[in-house]
Amino acid sequence: MSRIRLGDIAQARSGDKGDGSNVGVFVSNEADYELIRRVLTTDRVKAHFRGICFGDVERYELPNLFALNFILHDSLGGGGSESLKSDAQGKTHGLAILEMEIES
Amino acid sequence: MRNQLLIANGQGFWGDSILGPVRLVREGPLDYLALDYLAEVTMSIMQKLRSRDPEAGYATDFVRMLDRVLPEAFDKGIKIVANAGGVNPRACMRAVVELARKKGCTGLKVGIVDGDDVLGRIDELLADGEAMANLDTGEPLNAIRDRILSANVYIGAQSVADCLAAGADIVIGGRITDPALVAGPMMYEFGWSATDYDLLAASTVAGHIVECGAQCTGGNYTRWREIDGWANLGYPIVDARPDGTFWITKHEGTGGVVSRDSVVHQLLYEMGDPTRYLGPDCTADFTSAIVEQDGPDRVRVSGVRGGAPTDTYKVSISYQNGYKATGQLVVSGPDARAKAELCADIVFDRLLLDGVSFAPDQKTVELLGTGVCHAGIVDPCDPPEVVLRIGVKDTDRRKVDRFGMEIVPLVTSGPPGVTGFAGGRPKATDIVGYWPALLGKDKVTTTVDVEEVR
């Protein structure tokens, strides 16, 4: 077992969902999809975003796209016009998840 | 009945490049041009503009864009569908008709979809038993009743199809959903009915993929080094068929890429529960879509399944929710980080001396350049310089303006190396609160109207 950066096998896009963000992560084949399904648990993602996400993390599976979709609740400082943050829409959260180190 | 349709999206949001639609009209074959001009905050700004001027309250960018593409789009038979009407579609229509007349587009038919704006009907709807409680918090609308700035129902493909059926070459709507700008033309041209849920779901998925313009053709793409031709990035085109199958592509010779990866990126954008994407016309199951590369810059999407929509519309209500201000300073090294932190402390301590304080969740301090966007994930660093970004919010406008006066003094009364203050004192701006709610579909009727340019 070796450790890799999630960004070595996955790509991602994120955006806002109210006061939370959505982070979609996808890979290019079935084997990698099974890997991210196994390692990207909601607890793991919540811990990774501990400096950003202060609410629950929800996870949805899209096997047809080899993708997982996470909702990071309370991660935008109120969201929309309420937020004082530079990244009020969670645009950079996709790149942030790709920084995660995982066991391959 | 058509058996193929080319629908492009040339505007991902209000503020997107005017080159998108202009190039799409010039660069290749096209049947429809869809343009999105709205966001939640946009509607409140437009209501404010309209309250000062009865002929304002729509996206004037749209008229400026038409000034560049008419009469070419008309001569080529390209129809245009846009939610540029904002809170005043009729005024937008008048401006477009006048422009088209000047451009000699005799015979061009300009249509509007009306009925999404329910701001003037709030009390009537409340009395009628529509609670419009906040979808996220459950709070009753009374909590913000006297601060409401705008209220619009998200309307769908059916209204767009109705307007096209009435003969419109240009469809101008208010809060038409982004996907419906693409789904509407498909519904009309392919003769789909309101209960063809799989087909409507397919067109919703198509609309979702292209709704942010170049975000599915190489923009905001993880492996950005693989992208060539940034300046003339192609805008996306849906090549649609009556059975709901469609291809995503772009005009030949344009930059960027249409690949399985570029399409999947955008499919995941702003996604909630992928098995139940709710829209006014149907629910769509994004986990049913089969996405395959089918030649260079061509991706086939098929197999999309959908279901009946709910019996409610989503209403987007905006309201005044206090004030905010943010300001920035550049702090050079050595010790940029420590000095920037000191600057932030000085600002808030001086405000305290003057009796002004802000709760921890009402203020922000960001040391841009040290790893703010990925806080807790990347190691914070001490770069040769940082941008100190500092902000507050409050219901008291005077407190927020007082804060704005205490940033620039740091240049002479803070640590050395403070510079880059441009743009004057930051002033308090409105915080526009967003209140999502539901409204019974039987309470909303949309109407269409078409005027021919003579």
Give kind and range of the element (H or E) at residue B278. strand B277-278
Please tell me the distance in Å from A26's CA to the nearest CA on chain B: 8
Predicted confidence (pLDDT) at residue B15 exceeds the cutoff of 90: no
Chains A–B, number of C-beta pairs less than 8 Å apart: 131
Which residues of chain A fall below pLDDT 70?
A: none
> What is the rounded CA–CA span in Å between residue B250 and residue B59?
26
Nearest to B349, CA basis, from B278, B419, B275, B403? B403
Least confident of A79-83, B68-72, B150-154, B234-238: A79-83
- Distance, in angstroms, between A61 CA and closest chain B CA? 8
User: How far is the C-alpha of B110 from the C-alpha of B103, rounded, in Å?
Assistant: 14
Would you place residue B44 in the very low, low, confident or very high pLDDT band (cuts 50, 70, 90)?
A: confident
Instruction: Provide the pLDDT for residue A80.
Output: 82
Q: Do A81 and B433 touch (CB under 8 A)?
A: yes
The string of DSSP codes covering B283-337 is EEEGGG-EEEE-STTEEEEE--EEEPPPSEEEEEEEEEEEEEEEEEEEEESSSHH
Beta-carbon separation of B270 and A61 below 8 A = no
Look at residue B225 in the predicted model and tell me its pLDDT.
97
Q: Which of B272, B290, B372 sits opposite A86 (nearest CB)?
A: B372
Residue at B273: amino acid letter = D
Quick one: pLDDT at residue B42? 87
Nearest to A22 among B136, B270, B321 (CB): B270
Distances in whole angstroms, Cα of residue A6 to Cα of each of A99, B156, B161, B227: 6, 38, 44, 21
- pLDDT of B413 > 90? The answer is yes
Tokens of B346: 């000085």
Instruction: State whether residue A19 sits within 8 Å of chain B by CB.
Output: yes
For residue B374, give the chain A residue with the closest CA.
Answer: A96
If phi > 0 it is left, if psi is from -120 to 50 it is alpha, else beta; for residue B74 that is alpha
Instruction: Return the sign of the alpha-carbon dihedral for residues B150, B35, B164, B201.
Output: negative
Identify the structural domains of chain B with CATH numbers, from first to last.
5-116+154-309 (no CATH), 322-431 (3.30.70)
Q: Report the C-alpha dihedral over residues A100, A42, A87, B380, rounded to 10 degrees.
A: -40
- Asked if A96 lies within 8 A of B41 by C-beta distance, the reply is no
Predicted local distance difference test score (pLDDT) of residue A94: 98
Cα atoms in the 13 Å half-sphere on the side-chain side of B27: 21
Contacts of B214 in chain A (CB under 8 A): none
So what's the pLDDT on residue B14? 86
**Under an 8 A CB cutoff, do B434 and A81 touch?**
yes
Q: In CATH, what number is assigned to the domain containing residue A62?
A: 3.30.70
Q: Say if residue B205's pLDDT is above 80.
A: yes
Does pLDDT of B262 surpass 80? yes
In angstroms, the CA B374 to CA B380 distance is: 9
Report pLDDT for B295. 97
Partner B contacted by A29 (CB < 8 A): no
Interface-testing mutation among B261, B271, B387, with chain A (most A C-beta atoms within 10 A): B271
What 3-state class would DSSP assign to A85? coil
3-state secondary structure of A17: strand
CA–CA separation, B223 vs B79, rounded Å?
35
For residue B281, which of B163, B206, B200, B209 has the smallest C-alpha distance? B200
Tell me what the mean pLDDT of segment B341-357 comes to.
98
Q: What percent of chain B has pLDDT over 70?
A: 100
- Option in A63, A87, A99 nearest B287 (CB): A63
Q: Give the model's confidence band at B39: pLDDT under 50 very low, under 70 low, under 90 confident, else very high.
A: confident
Nearest to B113 by CA among B443, B447, B445: B447
Range of the domain at A44: 3-78+86-103
Nearest CB neighbour to A51, from listed B222, B324, B377: B377
Q: What pLDDT sits at residue A56? A: 98
B353-411 confidence digits (pLDDT tens): 999 999 999 999 999 999 999 999 999 889 999 999 999 999 999 999 999 999 999 99
> Into how many domains does chain A fold?
1
Distance (Å, whole) CA B433 – CA B321: 5
B231 touches chain A (CB under 8 A): no
pLDDT category of residue B254 using cuts at 50, 70 and 90:
very high
Mutate to test the interface with B, among A81, A83, A99 (most CBs of B within 10 A): A81
Q: Determine, for residues A81 and B220 on separate chains, whether the beta-carbon distance falls below 8 Å.
A: no
Quick check: B352 pLDDT over 80? yes
Amino acid at A104: S
Contact B222 A48 (CB under 8 A): no
- The CA dihedral of B192, B197, B198, B200, to the nearest 10 degrees, is 60
What is the average per-residue pLDDT within B406-426?
A: 91
Mean pLDDT of chain B: 96
Per CB-CB distance under 8 Å, the chain A contacts of B261 are 11, 26, 28
In 3D, which of B255, B220, B258, B214 has the Cα closest to residue B239? B258
**What distance in Å separates the CA atoms of residue B181 and residue B36, rounded to the nearest whole number?**
8
pLDDT at B162 over 90: yes
Q: What angle do CA B445, B196, B156 make, to 5 degrees?
A: 35
- pLDDT value of position A18: 85
Residue B40 pLDDT greater than 80, yes or no = no
pLDDT at B422 over 80: no
Compute the nearest-CA separation of B186 from chain A (Å). 24
DSSP codes of every residue in B199-243 = HHHHHHHHHHHHTTGGGGTTTT-TTGGG----TTBPPPEEEE-TT
A84 touches chain B (CB under 8 A): yes
B376 and chain A in contact, CB less than 8 A = yes
B chain contacts of residue A85, beta-carbon cutoff 8 Å: 364, 366
